[in-house]
Amino acid sequence: MLSDKSFPVVEATLPLVGSRIGDITPKFYARLFAAHPELLDGLFSRSNQRSGNQQQALAGSIAAFASHLVNNPDTLPETVLSRIAHRHASLGITEPQYQVVYEHLFAAIAEDLAEVITPEIAEAWTEVYWLMADALIKLEKGLYAAQANTKMWTPWKVAAKTPAGTGSMTFTLEPADDTPITAALPGQYVSVKVTLPDGLRQVRQYSLSGDAGTSRSFTTKLDDGGEVSPVLHSNVEVGDVLEISNPYGEITLKEGDGPVVLASAGIGCTPTASILRSLAESGSDRQVLVLHAESTLDSWALRSQMTDDVERLDGADLQLWLEEPQPGANAGFMTLREVDLPANASLYLCGPLPFMKNIRNEAINAGIPATKIHYEVFGPDIWLAS
Ligand SMILES: Cc1cc2nc3c(=O)[nH]c(=O)nc-3n(C[C@H](O)[C@H](O)[C@H](O)COP(=O)(O)OP(=O)(O)OC[C@H]3O[C@@H](n4cnc5c(N)ncnc54)[C@H](O)[C@@H]3O)c2cc1C
Ligand code: HEM
């Protein structure tokens, strides 16, 4: 909770900082990387910096956090914090790094707001920063402590590399040492670290796409303009060893016996396929509705796995949308308007942002409460900032 002294200052300066935060974060990252160029080697994504997505995600999260503190003084925005903490933990962020970020962020704020900032404003926003940082540090400590080992990276050997629909590839891994393995929950992801042809190391997250538990398999879609997926597709072969993080991610199947709706588009089917697999493996009698959208049938990366798992479950149904019309599939983009949504369902969503925004809106209109809608974004979460 903000102190009585800072509350009115943050409340009064929220519109000002909110309107400037989009300019402050690029200045912050420029300062951070000038002082610590090593943070771009194996930690921050070079592409997210170039595209500006990470700047937007950071700006959006700070603005959302500060307005939450003002509008709901007695609580913290758990969902926002949890997502960031899982992402941070998958990258091995440490407590002392928060002081480094603080120094460069506040130097950028002082530079950007030079004409209006007072010591009182700086102090109030310092309080906002440390409330957020302390909450994240606490969550991240808990996430690290819940792992079966204390290592950030462990070696896993590629046991199989299997084409999965046009443009996608499934990597099945086996442990390459005897580090104890954390059991992953269905829907979680791992970070994968690779060395690029220019020698820079880069990390990306990949949802586990098959069995969870102590198995590790993930499915990547090739992004021709990207840095990591082309290396995985073209340079990584069976027998090679990849560095993998422990599993993280808060979009996991919630316990219960209510109906589950899994809605995905394109490569967004990976976490939902893993959730579906766990339901099939446990012989669940929950009602399960699988909704998937693709451009063509051939590009559906986990088609046979998902159709097999739907077959295995008495209570499961599948509906497909294809941009290219095909018998047995709906034509065009997915819409919930013609779907008979089960009452009291929980909805798990993954796919491009416009897809998720649309389906989430339709689900809310159809009576699913926002608290029962869970979504995974395959990149920095710029939903908050948009
Ligand atoms: C929690 C989570 C789970 C994920 N799970 C999966 C999964 O299961 N399967 C999967 O395939 N992916 C998944 N992803 C996405 C994955 O992490 C990568 O983002 C994806 O593989 C692309 O990485 P890349 O290195 O190939 O591309 P990047 O190097 O990250 O590039 C991404 C895009 O940015 C573009 N870009 C680069 N520079 C600029 C610029 N200046 N302006 C505009 N655009 C630019 C590139 O052209 C490219 O199209 C997940 C992501 C998250 C966060
Ligand atoms: C209060 C302080 C911080 C806030 C509010 C914050 C916020 C965020 C947000 C919103 C994301 C995107 C998460 C997502 O949508 O998946 C993110 C990712 C990230 N954060 Fe932080 N963060 C903070 C501190 C730190 C620190 C101390 C470090 C370590 C140097 C750090 C390193 C990273 C990295 C490497 C990523 C992934 C970015 C990428 O590769 O594109 N963050 N953070």
Report the CATH number at residue 169: 2.40.30.10
Is position 266 within any domain?
yes
Task: Report, as an integer, the average pLDDT of 77-97.
Answer: 94
Q: pLDDT above 70 covers what percent of the chain? A: 99
pLDDT at 90 over 80: yes
* CA pair distance 269, 291, nearest whole angstrom: 10
pLDDT in tens, 244-256: 999 999 999 988 9
| Ligand 2 atom having least distance to the Cα of 54 | 41
The residues, ordered by sequence, that sit 6+ positions from 206 with a Cβ below 8 Å of its Cβ are: 189, 190, 192, 218, 219, 220, 270
How do residues 195-233 score in pLDDT, each as one tens digit? 999 999 999 999 999 999 999 999 999 999 999 999 999
Please tell me the distance between residue 70's alpha carbon and the centre of ligand 1 in angstroms: 34
Cα-Cα-Cα-Cα dihedral of 167, 210, 149, 139, to 10°?
A: 80
Cα(138) to centroid(ligand 1), Å: 28
pLDDT at 54: 86
In a domain, 255, yes or no: no
User: Residue 383: which pLDDT band, with cuts at 50, 70 and 90?
Assistant: low
Q: Is residue 35 part of a domain?
A: yes
**Mean pLDDT, rounded, for 300-306:** 97
pLDDT tens figures, 152-168: 999 999 999 999 999 99
pLDDT in tens, 165-180: 999 999 999 999 999 9
Mean pLDDT of the chain: 94
Give the catalytic positions in this structure: 98, 140
- 363 domain residue, yes or no: yes
Q: How far is the CA of 165 from the centre of ligand 2 (A)?
A: 32
Residues present in the chain in total: 386
Are 291 and 338 in contact, with CB atoms under 8 Å apart? no
176 shares a domain with 225: yes
pLDDT at 384 over 70: no
- 385 pLDDT above the threshold of 80: no
Same domain, 48 and 101: yes
Nearest ligand by distance to the CA of 193 = 1
User: Does the pLDDT at position 311 exceed 90?
Assistant: yes
Distance separating alpha carbons of residues 310 and 275, to the nearest angstrom:
12
Taking only the tens place, the pLDDT of each residue in 31-69 is 999 999 999 999 999 999 998 888 888 888 888 899 999
Cα angle: 75, vertex 78, 83; to 5 degrees? 155
Helices (H), the chain: 6-35, 46-51, 53-71, 78-89, 95-112, 119-145, 228-234, 269-281, 303-312, 353-365
Give the lowest-confidence range in 133-137, 359-363, 375-379.
Answer: 375-379
The pLDDT assigned to 176 comes to: 98
Question: What is the CATH classification number for the domain harbouring 117?
Answer: 1.10.490.10
Number of structural domains (the chain) is 3
**Mean of the pLDDT values across residues 345-349?**
97
Percent of the chain with pLDDT over 90: 87
83 alpha carbon, closest ligand: 2
- Supply the pLDDT for residue 52: 87
Domain range for 347 is 260-376
Other residues' Cβ atoms within 10 Å of the Cβ of residue 34: 9
In a domain, 382, yes or no: no
Nearest CA to ligand 2 atom 7: 58
Q: How far is CA 204 from CA 113, 140, 213, 228, 242, in A?
A: 34, 19, 21, 7, 12
Residue 289, φ and ψ in degrees, nearest 5: -115, 115
Residues 56 and 12 grouped into a single domain: yes
* Claim to verify: residue 215 and residue 266 sit in the same structural domain: no
Extended beta strands in 208-315, E state:
216-221, 241-244, 260-265, 288-294
CA dihedral angle for residue 75, residue 79, residue 80, residue 85, rounded to 10 degrees: 110
Asked whether the CA dihedral 93, 184, 290, 173 is positive or negative, the reply is: positive
254 in a domain, yes or no? no
Q: Are residues 114 and 165 in the same domain?
A: no
Of 73, 214, 66, 91, residue with least CA distance to 153 = 91
Pair 141, 158 in one domain: no
* Domain assignment of residue 249, yes or no: no
Q: Which of 100, 115, 145 is the last residue of a domain?
A: 145
| Helix and strand counts by DSSP (H, E) for the chain | 10, 12
Question: Would you state the pLDDT for residue 295?
Answer: 94
Mutate to test the pocket of ligand 1, among 43, 84, 205 (most ligand atoms within 8 A of CB): 205
Residues framing ligand 2 (Cβ under 6 A):
39, 43-45, 48, 54, 57-58, 61-62, 83-84, 87-88, 91, 93, 97-98, 101, 129, 132-133, 136, 380-381
In testing the pocket of ligand 2, which one of 84, 202, 383 has its CB within 8 Å of the most ligand atoms?
84
For residue 275, the CA-to-ligand 1 centroid distance in Å is 22
Which of 107, 124, 145 represents a domain boundary (last residue)?
145
CA distance 92 to 117: 34
Any domain includes 348:
yes
- Do 14 and 141 have their domain in common? yes
44 and 126 housed in the same domain: yes
Confidence of residue 382 (pLDDT cuts 50, 70, 90): low
Statement to judge: residues 104 and 53 lie in one domain: yes
3-state secondary structure of 204: strand
Amino acid of residue 89: A
Interval between CA 196 and ligand 1 midpoint (Å): 14
Query: Which long-range contacts does 131-135 make (Cβ < 8 Å, 24+ apart)?
Result: 131/1, 131/2, 131/65, 131/69, 131/76, 132/61, 132/62, 132/65, 132/81, 133/98, 133/101, 133/102, 135/76, 135/81
> Is 155 touching ligand 1 by the criterion CB < 6 Å?
no
Interior CA angle at 327 toward 323 and 331, to 5°?
A: 25
131 and 192 fall within a common domain: no
Residue of 29, 46, 49, 51 to mutate, ligand 1, most atoms within 8 A of C-beta = 51
From 128, 145, 162, the end of a domain falls on 145
Report which bound ligand comes closest to the CA of 273. 1
Q: Do residues 312 and 361 share a domain? A: yes
Is the domain of 71 the same as that of 109? yes
Alpha-carbon torsion, ordered 68, 82, 112, 5, to 10 deg: 40
Task: Starting from the CA of residue 101, give the closest ligand.
Answer: 2
Q: Hey, CA dihedral for 272, 278, 280, 286, is it positive or negative? A: negative
